[in-house]
Amino acid sequence: MTGASALIDGATGGAVATVAMSAVMIAGDRTGLMGEQPPTAITRFALDEAGVERPAVAASLIAPLSHLFFGAVGGAAFGLLRRLVPGVPGGLLGVGFGLAVWAISYKGWIPALGILPPPEDDRPGRPVVMVVAHLVYGLVLGRLVRP
């Protein structure tokens, strides 16, 4: 597989995996565990920083697409990683990747920018839902992306 095809395969897998993880997030929301969905909070923050009027309204429309895009970009990176370590089972590599994305995001840049609190200070339930969602993302991604 060429580098370009690894990126395309990964991006496609990442988009599909994002849809799967979104189902987990929606289920968490319906059980009352989520509060504001993280993609909406992140998009609202970005729009607010960009000076968009009524960022909450715009974020509710843009967040699903930005989340899908972010997942596809992550998938493209995974496509390259998958090519570099073909001997590791895809599901295992994907789960590790999904957990790394969660840790870098929810223990790193998201609280550092003040978008959401770190998991230990967040509302009960949301961190667990987000870890499970990222496990699903990684598992689906790892199963879809070829070495």
Check: CB of residue 144 under 8 Å from CB of residue 97: no
pLDDT single digits (tens) 32-57: 999 999 999 999 999 999 998 888 88
| CA 111 – CA 131 distance, rounded (Å) | 16
**Residue 127: which of 105, 112, 94, 142 has the closest Cα?**
105
Question: Residue 1 has what pLDDT?
Answer: 61
How confident is the chain (147 residues) per 10-residue block, as mean pLDDT? 87 98 97 96 94 87 96 97 94 98 98 97 96 98 95
Structure tokens at 15: 């988009």
Question: Residue 16 has what pLDDT?
Answer: 98
Domain range list for the chain: 3-37+65-144
At a CB cut-off of 8 Å and minimum separation 6, what does 124 contact? 33
